[in-house]
Structure formats: structure tokens, C-alpha cells
Chain A
Amino acid sequence: MSRRSDLLRYLGARLALVPLMLWLIASLVFLLLRVAPGDPIDAILGPKAPAAARAALRAQLGLDQPLPVQYGHFLADLLHGNLGVSQASKEPVLTIIQGSLPASLELGLVALLIAAVLGLAVGFSGIARPEGRIDLAGRLFGIGTYALPPFWAAMVVQLVFAVWLGWLPVGGRLPATVLPPEGTGFFLLDSLRAGNLQQLQGALRHLVLPASTLGLLLSGIFTNALRLNLRRALGSDYVEAARSRGLSETRVVLRHALPNALLPVLTITGITVASLIGGALLIEVTYSWPGIAARLQEAIAQRDYPLVQGIVVVVAALVVLVTVAVDLLVALLDPRVRF
């Protein structure tokens, strides 16, 4: 009972901070965008539009108003759940986010699955002979994949598998000849729900390279985390105690050492998920993946203030929520955690 109420109090305190964090982030982004050099009018009209046309557009976008007034409007809209309208495309920001975020999440989740399976398998493979050949190979794999420059790795994978071998498409989310499935924006899910095999195949083929590349790049984190924690756990007292009770080594590893070694990995997974919500910019750009990170990059280049603000606020909110959820999960699983 006491632990449960502690947990609820902890959850309440964390959630109570969310609005404050979002306000701080939103205000900071609002301010930084206005301080940064560059004018949205130049991005929309080009540098040579007549002064009258520039002034008219500035007034139309509300950029001629004093900064505090603009800030007031922004906050008032935000409180009402209105993220505004993109200056460049005149589309509601929420609609744009709804179109881009599922793409990033789909890529991120599949990549995370690949990273976890690959990384944990490699991390686990060296425990038989610490400092042996396989352990050394696993270490090198962990360090190497972590250190690989994402842009370079993505381009090499793209060149080999898409351009030279021609096995898979170079980019995009679906073949040009296939229309996107309707629904949630998660194409794998939507095409499965619709029972459309062509859409499913197309979505899978387009997902394989970016997700594998991202998964490979992330797998090193899991490899290193599991390897280090497993070795630490295997040397701990409770493992020795289990061995002394005559349990088989397999049982010792799988039932006693591994679960404890996986707890820190869970935290790392949470952090990785949080980072993937904002998209993997270099992967999205290289593979022309229409995700939220690529959209944010374009919005920044166009100085599309409402779109940048909207994306940052939504992504920040999701990151905060995921972080809280992971913290709670760890607290639930690990009785040693105190609040």
C-alpha cells in the first residue's frame, strides 16, 4: 500500500511538471526562432519580391506585430490545443504532424526492434568465454556500430543494396505505383488491416533499408549495455549464491543474472525510444523518409515558425510522457528503486 501510494505520488509529481516543461520548451523555441537570422518572408517570396508584397505578407502572417503580442497569441492558441497554420503551406500544423509523425514512429519502432534483437544477441553471445574471440568480436561490434557516422553508413547501405544490387528501393515509404493505405499513418498496420498485400509488400520493401540501418547503428548501445551489466551480474553475490545452491549455469544466467542485467537496458531502451520520437534526421534525409525530423529540418530552413514550434512542442510532450512511463516501469520492476 505504501509503495503504491509512493508510486502514485511520484507519478503525480512527474506529470505536474509536464506543463511547466512544455511551456519552457515552447517559449524557448519561440524566442530562439525570432532571434535566429533569416526571414520567413524571404523563404516564401524569395529575396526579390517588392517591398509592398513583402509588407502585405508580413501583415497577413502576423509577423508585423510586436513580439510580446505574437507570443501572447502563440500561448493562447497553444492552451486551446491550436498549433496554428504553417506559413509556407497554409496547412494546419496538427495535420502536418499527423502526416509525418507516424512515419518516424514506424521507422523508429521497427529499427528499435532490430536493434534490440541484434544488439542483445551479440551482447549475450560473448558470455561463454569472457575476453574470448566471440566476446572480442561483440565488443568491436558494439563500439563499431555506435561509432559509425549515420549519414555515411546509410549512404553505403543505400548504394550497395539499392543502387548496385537493386534489391530494394533507394528511398521513400511506398512504391510510386502504389497508393498509401488509409488509416493511422502506420503503413504496415494500415495495409495489414486493409488486407492489401501489395501495399504491405511495398511498405516492407521500403522500410527494410532505413530500419536495418538505423537498427544496426543503435544495436551497439544494447550490445555494450547488456555485455557490461551481464558481466557485472555474473560476478555478484546473488549469482554466487545461486551457483552454490547447485543450479545449472544456464539457469543461473537466464533466471538470475539476465533479468537483473536487463533492467538498465530497459532504461536505455526508454531513452532510445524518446530520442526516436523526434525522428532520425540523417536516416530520414538519406532514405527520403517523410518523417517528422525531415519535416522539421525543412521547416527550420523555411523559417516556418508555427510548424517548428508545433513539432517541437508535440515531440517534447511525447518524449516527456515516454520518459515518465519508462521511469514508472523500472520502478515497478525493480523493488530497489525508492521515490
Chain B
Amino acid sequence: MGAHTGPQGLPSTSSAAWGLGALPFCLALLAPLSACAPPRPEGTLIVAGKSRIDSLDPVQASRSGQMQVLSALGDPLYAIRADGTIEPRLASGPPVLSADGLTARIPLRRSVHFHDGTPFDAAAMVFSLQRFLAIGTLGYQLADRVKSVRASGSHEITLELKAPFSPLTRLLSAIFLTPVSPTAYRQHTTKPLNDRFVGTGPYRLSFFNAQQQRLTPFAHYWGQQPANRGINLVTLGNSTALLGALRSGEVDVLLASGLEIDHQQALHRDAAAGRLREGSGPPLSIGFLSLLTDQPPLNSSTLREALARSLDRATISRRVSLGMRPPLRQLIPPSLMGSDPGAWPAYDPSAARSLFRKAGYCNGRVLRLPLTFRSDIPSDRLLALTWQAQVRRDLGDCLALQVSGMESTTAYDQLGKGALSLFFYDWIGDYPDAENFLVPLLGCSKEQGNRCAEGNSALSGSFWSAPGLEAELQRSSRLEGPARQQLLQAIQRRTAAAVPYLPVWLMAEQAWSGPRISPPRFDGSGRLRLDQLHRLPAVPAGSAHRAVAVGVGQRPVAALAGGGGVAAPPAPARLSPALPPGALPAGAPHPSASQPHR
């Protein structure tokens, strides 16, 4: 450095200037590195999501990312198809209920093996359910309904229920109840086994860490073999990285969970333009406002109704989500029993003004209402600001929303303490049934007239109840068919009349795949079918575009609102043409010999 001297005897500028030239030199070095990209094993796919997976033990499962991976590694007793109907998976038939509805006998499928080669039987299922009851994070979902579990045959289990429970098969479709091998989990009956999973699903776990999981087809799977040779799941911690990874081709499929709304919109546009393929699951998540009903000012039912009439869901949906989240005027997703699409009052600014006037506002007196949103969810902020602006436009002389953000965990804590007058958040049930939407929002263990002192309604921030409502909720989980449908609708209408909550929009799981990958498809529980993803054969230019356009055209908002579905026409469940049948792992059953349930 500085070997030559300059005019003043100091190191010359020409030699010293290399330091400033170092930056472009270093940047120029980056280009050759692009050639070092590792080769992709033929037939395996890379799926990216935002969720970090700390554990793949079903007893630890509570987040959507964990459930998604478990859905590929394990099998539930029953599964919900994309059309909403139920099919037995590890059960070989529907539950046989006793006359009083308190005992359910479930026949189990034979010739099923765990990934460690041990057979699946009633003892294994009982082991798994009892382990879940003992240490499951969501153990209460089962413990609240089931008194005991026992094997009543080599391939039959019997559940003793605490009360008749009509959505039992839907509860048993939850992937966190997937069985695990008693042999592999013998040392983990009282503690989770985080970094392994030994179940019965179409894939076995061949590598695990929190950012990366590798799934390999299970050669002895009882059902149909996956259409790909394996899935590599990766976690990318921010939305921009996820978007960039799909666009640059670094990953093959992208899960929407955790993607910011503007990035989802960008991907939606890419799909519409034929550059990507898009698929969505059934809409099973609701976004809603919780109104604090036991304290002023929202203890006034007139004001709550006025607020309900002030909410222009269509505008908010269009502005915030480009229509990707359709407006919702009920608490139950439309695809589930009990749906009543028009239960909540519709947007009507003139009716809202009348109601505000009736409550003493508008005539020079503006109701200033604090609206809290979760600051770590960007779309929540957009919604709050959009509604604030819409109210200012329509009812500025009556209502002013004072918008502020609060971090999620703090907000949930404050919500149950009655500190938030008006709070926007969302909810997805642990399994798709109306009961899982109404009870968590309306359940009340200590009712005082129209106030809920203790229970889910208090935890949800509304503190609202009504005489006899809890009994109706409990009765609804005992009824079946039209009687249950009517009761659920009646509960919704009763709740809508009191407006303790304001449903805003409906959300569905979404995924995007590259142009050379099959369109993402979801099951009825909202899980991406990883086993159906595969590479498409190369097609002449132009035809790929047409194929994509068909897929995208079938994924409109109307499909979401109407019960969900898959963007693309269902691809036949077969091996990818790029994957010759001879390439199947040894011992795999021939596709044509697979079980009929898929």
C-alpha cells in the first residue's frame, strides 16, 4: 500500500484510489457466484413459508406452519375434502355412536404402518390420544369433550364422551390428533419430541431444523404415493424475501401465510398475467372487530348498531385487499353449517346517522372512539386507516375513529382485561366447524344478564352474553342436520342483533407456484396438498400461458365466498410426467392400486 509517492511525497493518489475502487470490484465478483447455485434434485420441490417450525410433535402443534407440515407427515382419523365432505382416513368408517350419544366406536384401517415400520393399530391410536390429552398444547380441545379413550379391539377404539358431540368427526380431522409410533415416542410420553416425527403419512421426515425440513416419500405408505420425489420446506423470515424467492425461481411454491397484503396482491397480479399459478383453500379465517359492550360508550346497543351500519366492508375489502378478502357479515365461514350470510346489518350510512343522532351525537357532538389494531400485522393497520377515512367521509360529524396500534401479545392480554373499546383481529378455528367459531367468541362460564364476567366472550374482549345463550351453544353441539343448522343461524342472528362483534372479512389460505409447477391445491381443512405438487412437463411457448389463465380464472373472490375451492381445475392424482413410474421408491404401491378415498 502506498509504494509510490505523490507530489507531496505522500503515497500517490493513483495507488491510494484503489480503496474507493474496491467496492465496484467486490460487486463485480458477485456475478460469477451466481454460477455456483447447487443443482436441484430431479422431482423434488422447494416450498417456502414464513413460519418457523420449532417442533413437529403433534402435542406441540398450535400454529398453522406446524399443522401444514404435519398434514404431509401424518394422517388424521378423518379428513375433510376440498368440497367440505368428510372421508375416513385412518378410520375405516364413520364413528358408531351409542343410543345416548355418549360412546363412539371408531373402526381403524388395517395394514397401515408407521414410518419406523411398526404397525398402526388401536393401541397406537390410544397411546397417541392419551399422550395428546396429557401434554398437548391444544389438549383442551379433546379433554373438554372426551372422558376416556380405550382400545375396544385390535383395530377399534372407543371414546367415552362427556356429552353428545355432533362435530366429533370434524374434531377428529384435526391434524394435531394424528397418531405417532408408540415405539418411537416411548421415552416421550410426558415431554415433546421436537425434532423427529414418526407417523403414518405419505412423507417421512428425513431432516429437521427450525428453518428447513426435508420430506421424503414414505415407500410403505398405505395410500397413494406423492406426485413428487420429495419436498424441501424452508422458512424465510420476511415477506419481501418470500416474494423475491418465488419470483427469482429460488423456491417453487410459496405459502401466503405471513405475506404482507401488498405482496399477496403483487403475486395475484402475477398469477393473473400468467407468470405464476395460484390456489386458495376454503376460507376458514375471519377478520372481525370486538366491541367492549360492558363499558361506555359501547355499552349502548344503539351505538353498536350505528357502528355496524357505518362499516363499508365492500370498500375496505376492495381498497385494502384488492378484493382478495371478501366482505363478511357473519361469524361462521360460509362453507360451514350454520352459515347465515346476511346476519349482521349491512352498510347504511343514513341509518347509521339516524342511530348516532338517537344516541345524542352528530349535532355538533362527535363520538371519538379508540380503534386498536395489531401493529405487527400490516393489513390490520391498512384496514384501520381505511375505515377511519371512510367514516370521516361518510359520518365525519358523528364519529371519529382514533386509530392506534398495539403489539399482538400485549393486545390479547389487554383485550381480556377490558382495556380495548374497539379492537380488530382475526380468528381461525382449530378444526372447521361452526362450533369452533361461535364458542370461542360467545362462550361464557359466568353470565350476569347481558354481561359475561368469565369465559371466552370476556377473553375475546366483548364481555357480552345473553340469558340462555350458553345453553343454546351447548345444545348446538349435540344436534345434527337441519335442527343444528337452524339453531346455529338463530344464535348468529341473536348475536348480530346485539352487535358485540363486527365481522369484517373472510380469509383463506393461499399459495402460489412457479409456471412449471402444478397449481397449488388445498384440502377442506385449509392445508396445501404437498403430495399433489409436481413439476409440469415443458410445453411449447403460448400453451403454458393458456393453461395458467384457465387456472387463475377459476380463483375469483366469488369462489372464496361461496365455500372455497381450488384455483385450477383439479389435476389428476397421478405421477408427474417428469417422474417415470419406475422412479418410485421401492415398495411403493402402484398408483392404480391406491385407496379410493383420495
Contact = CB atoms under 8 A, between A and B. Distances in A.
Interface of A: 36-39, 42-53, 57, 86, 88-91, 99, 114, 117-118, 120-129, 132, 134, 137-138, 141, 155, 158-159, 161-163, 165-180, 198, 201-202, 204-205, 208, 212, 216, 248-250, 253-254, 284-288, 290, 294, 298, 301-303
Interface of B: 1-3, 5-6, 8-13, 16-20, 22-23, 26, 30-31, 33-34, 36-41, 44, 46, 52, 54-55, 60, 62, 137-140, 143-144, 191-192, 194, 207, 209-212, 214, 232-238, 240-241, 243-245, 247-251, 376, 407-410, 412-416, 425, 427, 440-441, 443, 445, 454-456, 459-460
B211 A48 contact: no
21 contacts: A37-B413, A39-B412, A47-B412, A48-B441, A50-B456, A53-B143, A89-B55, A118-B26, A125-B16, A125-B17, A128-B8, A134-B16, A163-B244, A166-B34, A168-B34, A176-B46, A176-B212, A248-B9, A253-B10, A285-B238, A286-B240
Residue of A37, A120, A298 with most partner-chain B CB within 10 A = A37
Nearest to A123: B19
A303 B410 CA distance: 10
Given A201-B36, A288-B236, A126 B10 contact: no
Given A43-B409, A134-B13, A249-B10, A167 B33 contact: yes
Given A177-B41, A177-B46, 12 more contacts: A38-B410, A46-B412, A48-B441, A51-B454, A118-B26, A124-B2, A170-B236, A170-B244, A170-B250, A205-B37, A208-B30, A253-B10
A170 B55 contact: no
Contact of A177 (B23, B33, B232): B232
Does more than half of chain B's interface fall in helix, strand or loop, or is it mixed? mixed
B194 to A, nearest CB: 6
Given A163-B247, A168-B33, A44 B62 contact: yes
Contacts of A204: 33, 36
B413 A288 contact: no
Contacts of A126: 16
B234 A172 contact: yes
A269 B6 CA distance: 30
Contacts of B251: 176
A37 B248 CA distance: 41
B211 A290 contact: yes
Contacts of A171: 236-238, 241, 245
B460 A127 contact: no
A173 B139 CA distance: 35
A288 B237 contact: yes
A329 to B, nearest CB: 23
B410 A212 contact: no
B238 A286 contact: yes
Contact of A170 (B241, B416, B454, B456): B241
Residue of A89, A208, A285, A303 with most partner-chain B CB within 10 A = A89
B349 to A, nearest CB: 32
Contacts of B241: 158, 170-171, 286-288
Contacts of A177: 38-41, 44, 46, 232
Given A208-B30, A208-B33, A202 B38 contact: yes
A45 B407 CA distance: 16
Contacts of A179: 207, 214
Nearest to A57: B137
A103 to B, nearest CB: 10
A46 to B, nearest CB: 7
Nearest to B243: A163
